[in-house]
Structure formats: C-alpha cells, structure tokens
C-alpha cells in the first residue's frame, strides 16, 4: 500500500520491522493464492490488495511497502506487479506466487534495516553539525542507495524523498513540517529513468539544506483555517471503486482488544463501550451529529458531560492551532451533516469526517478517539468494517496537507475492501 508507506513515521516503521517471522506471511499468501488458483476466475489486482490488507493487519504498518516495486520507482525488487507476480498466465504452480509474496516482504524489510544502519552511520558522522548540513550529508550518502535499489525507474525520486523524510524524522524533525518541503525540493530537481549528475545532485542537496534550515526556523502555525481552505478541494476527484470484496475482519475492535488494551485496559474498555454504542446508533440509522458524538465522548472519557470547547486549542507542540470563532461549532455541525451524504463515496465521507474531528478539535480532550468513532459511524452505517485500523491511526497528518487527505481516503477505501 504505497499510499500508506510514504506517509509513515520512521518510528512506526523500523522498530516493528526488526522482529519478523516470515511464516505468517507464507500462511497468508498460501491461503489467499491457493483459494484464487482454485477459482474459475479471479482478479489479480484484487488478490494483491487482499494480500496487502492481511500483511498489514498481521505485521503492522511497516509491511505496507512490500509491493512498492522498482517498476513504480520503489525499492522492492522481488515483486513486479499483480499481473506478472501473482498467478501469472502460463504459470501453473501457485507456490511460485507464494514464494514471491514472502520474498517481496523480506526484500522490503531488508531495505528498511539497511536504512536503519545508514541513518545510524550518518548520525555518528554528523552529530556535531547543524541539521541543515547533516541533511546535505545524508542526501549525498543515501542517493546511491536509492538509485541502486530503484534502478532510477519511473518516479524513483519519490522513494528518495520518502527516505530523506524518514531520516529527518529519525533526527527528531516533525515530519508534518518537512515532508512536503522535501518532496518539492527533490521532485523539482530530479527526473525519471536517469540518475542525476554530480553537479545537479550537489545543487539539490544544498537547496535541501537551506529548506530544512528555513523550516526549522519557521514558526508558522497552521490549523483549522488551513483545513477549511483545502477541505473542499481535497476530495474533488475520488478514485473510482473497483472492487468489491467486503471484508469481514473487524479491525477496529481487534485494535481495541489488542494493542489498546495492552497499553491501558481501562481506556480500552471505555473505547469498546463507546464503539458499541456508536455502532448501535449507526445501525439504527441515527445520524452523526454533535449531540450523538458528545454522548459517545462521555463514554470515552468517563465524564458526565462533553461540551464543545470554549477556546482555542493547540496540538503538535503548538504547531497547529484550532481557533474558536463564533461560528466554529455551527460549521462543524454542517461538516457532520455532510458525512451522511449518499452521493459521496463512503471512503471519502469516512476520511473527511475523521479529519474534520481532528482539525475542528471540538472537545478539550480525546479528539483522536472521537475521530475514530466518527469514521466508524460512517462505515457502520454502510454495513462495512475496516480490515485493520492502525494505518489510519498511526500516520501523522497536517491540517494543510491536501495530498495527505486524498491518500487517507484511498487507504480507507482499500481497508474497507472497496478496491
């Protein structure tokens, strides 16, 4: 799921990748590939996305890049594409496809561990240097790694920008501050199908260092106003729903009963109760409005009342500010109404209402959990469930990131089995 892989935080990627048991990947691939091979007809793209969903659910978000292939400018060389890698025409042994799935995941993991070692080595050399100079050094050292991995194929520089963003994240730089800046700097200088010459690379690395320095000193605060500016544009061209395998695994409940319960059992119990309450209301056709959301929020927080915030709110160590205007609550309620517009694809409505709650920040506390409930309400009202929810929860999102909003809708669509 490339749309997810490029938006991951480095801290969400490499720790989980260090511990890996390939046997579960083989079991997943064997079950899905064998079932498809026994079918009179099957869709290779659909099979690839089913494998994608299950690998992410099993291993976590880090597995999302297993099919980011060199043909798409990615670092995975053990996979080509659905048509050539999974049950291709004239190949009669499904074990070959199963082997390719496992090899692709292992190849992706090897790349992540290679980056982990490179980041550590770069840090050792540059630990006494300003961040902008360290970024230049990192870019120079990581460029040949990425070029070799991607073979400089189509849009390979997207992988390079992702790797540099991960490096900066590993250095403690907020990714929401630098992701777009890095991508614009790199993609504006490099081209597909060719590695840059030394002078172009050097000039780009210097430009990158300057941009990082500027971003570090830039105290611009974004928030609700920026979200409202991009909100109407972000989903104008939603991807068409191509599939049609509705998943049965309840990823949201599994997350509550698993990782969330392991961290805080009491919080998880309240969240489970809130989810059940919201789903019951959605199943009865009850609309998602502020009163309904506030009622569920009382359960989430274990409080008697949950009122709309009375002042400005801040997040991400002050980098985002959610200003309270006289009409903020009214505008939020209108956004909630849009979440039940049947003319809009369900994945768009679910992703949009999730971000609405995040960036309107209606409550003094617990807004991330309220956003989950809002998204789940929209999904449940369409009698759908998410195969897994971690890819939605663990990705850093910025209020002014239009591309990130679009990608969220894509990810939701895939996790619902609608691709």
Give domain limits for the chain: 2-217, 222-415
User: Given this model, what pLDDT does residue 180 score?
Assistant: 82
The radius of gyration of the chain's CA atoms, rounded to the nearest angstrom, is 22
Q: What is the pTM (predicted TM-score) of this model?
A: 0.86
User: Given this model, what pLDDT does residue 90 score?
Assistant: 87
User: Given this model, what pLDDT does residue 33 score?
Assistant: 96
Closest to 120 in 3D by CA, of 4, 18, 212, 6: 18
Owner of token pair 């320095």 = 213
Residues sharing a CB contact under 8 Å with residue 289, sequence separation 6 or more, in sequence order: 333, 336, 337
Sign of the dihedral through C-alpha 238, 187, 13, 147: positive
- β-sheet with 313-315: strand ranges across: 222-223, 320-322, 313-315
Please name the helix (run of DSSP H) or strand (run of DSSP E) that holds residue 320, with its range, or none: strand 320-322
Task: Report the C-alpha gap between 193 and 157 in whole angstroms.
Answer: 10
Task: Report the C-alpha gap between 388 and 57 in whole angstroms.
Answer: 6
Task: Report the C-alpha gap between 97 and 255 in whole angstroms.
Answer: 30
For the 222-415 domain, the top CATH level (class) is mainly alpha
User: Given this model, what pLDDT does residue 219 score?
Assistant: 55
Task: Report the C-alpha gap between 376 and 301 in whole angstroms.
Answer: 18
Task: Report the C-alpha gap between 405 and 148 in whole angstroms.
Answer: 31
Closest to 146 in 3D by CA, of 111, 178, 170, 117: 111
Closest to 277 in 3D by CA, of 250, 298, 255, 305: 298
Strands 320-322 and 222-223: parallel
CA distances from 53 to 88, 250, 267 (A): 21, 12, 27
User: Given this model, what pLDDT does residue 395 score?
Assistant: 73
Which pLDDT tens digits describe the chain residue by residue (419 residues)? 787 888 888 987 887 778 889 999 999 999 999 999 998 888 999 999 999 999 998 998 899 999 999 888 999 999 999 999 999 988 999 999 999 999 999 999 999 999 999 999 999 999 999 999 999 999 999 999 999 999 999 999 999 999 999 999 999 888 777 888 898 899 889 999 999 999 999 999 999 999 888 877 765 567 899 999 999 899 886 555 555 666 778 999 999 999 999 999 999 999 999 999 999 999 999 999 999 999 999 999 999 999 999 999 988 777 788 999 999 999 999 999 999 999 999 999 999 999 999 999 999 999 999 999 999 999 999 999 999 999 998 776 788 889 889 989 999 998 998 76
CB 319 within 8 A of CB 221: yes
CA dihedral 343, 346, 350, 353 (to 10 degrees): 0
The two structure tokens encoding residue 299: 């359960």
The two structure tokens encoding residue 62: 């880090």
User: Given this model, what pLDDT does residue 214 score?
Assistant: 80
User: Given this model, what pLDDT does residue 105 score?
Assistant: 97
The two structure tokens encoding residue 408: 């969220």
User: Given this model, what pLDDT does residue 403 score?
Assistant: 87
Task: Report the C-alpha gap between 408 and 386 in whole angstroms.
Answer: 13
């Amino acid at each position: 799921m490339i749309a997810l892989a490029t938006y991951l935080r480095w801290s969400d990627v490499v720790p989980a990748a260090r511990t890996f048991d390939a046997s579960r990947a083989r079991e997943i691939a064997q079950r899905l590939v064998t079932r498809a091979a026994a079918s009179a007809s099957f869709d290779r793209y659909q099979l690839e996305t089913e494998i994608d969903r299950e690998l992410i659910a099993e291993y976590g978000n880090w597995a999302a890049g297993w099919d980011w292939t060199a043909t798409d400018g990615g670092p995975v060389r053990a996979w080509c594409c659905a048509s050539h890698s999974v049950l291709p025409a004239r190949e009669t042994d499904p074990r070959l496809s199963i082997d390719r799935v496992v090899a692709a995941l292992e190849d992706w993991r090897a790349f992540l561990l290679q980056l982990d070692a490179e980041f550590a080595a770069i840090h050792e050399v540059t630990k006494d240097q300003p961040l902008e100079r360290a970024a230049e050094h990192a870019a120079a050292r990581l460029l040949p790694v990425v070029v070799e991995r991607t073979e400089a194929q189509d849009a390979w520089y997207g992988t390079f920008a992702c790797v540099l963003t991960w490096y900066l994240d590993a250095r403690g730089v907020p990714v929401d501050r630098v992701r777009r800046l890095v991508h614009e700097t790199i993609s504006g200088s490099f081209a597909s199908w060719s590695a840059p010459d030394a002078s172009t690379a050097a000039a780009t690395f210097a430009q990158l260092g300057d941009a990082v320095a500027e971003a570090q000193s830039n105290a611009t605060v974004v928030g609700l106003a920026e979200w409202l500016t991009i909100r109407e544009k972000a989903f104008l061209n939603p991807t068409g729903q191509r599939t049609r395998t509705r998943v049965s695994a309840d990823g949201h409940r599994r997350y509550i009963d698993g990782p969330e319960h392991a961290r805080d059992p009491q919080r998880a119990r309240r969240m489970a109760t809130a989810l059940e309450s919201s789903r019951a209301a959605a199943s009865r056709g009850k609309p998602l409005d502020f009163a309904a959301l506030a009622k569920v929020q009382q359960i989430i927080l274990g409080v008697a009342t949950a009122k709309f915030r009375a002042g400005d709110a801040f997040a991400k160590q002050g980098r985002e500010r959610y200003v309270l205007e006289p009409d903020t609550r009214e505008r939020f309620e209108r956004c909630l109404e849009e979440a039940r517009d049947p003319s809009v694809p369900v994945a768009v409505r679910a992703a949009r209402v999730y971000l609405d709650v995040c960036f309107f920040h209606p409550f003094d506390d617990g807004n991330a959990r309220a956003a989950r409930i809002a998204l789940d309400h929209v999904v449940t009202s369409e009698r759908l469930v998410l195969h897994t929810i971690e890819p939605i929860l663990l990705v850093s999102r910025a209020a002014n990131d239009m591309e990130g909003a679009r990608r969220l809708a894509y990810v939701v669509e895939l996790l619902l089995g609608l691709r």
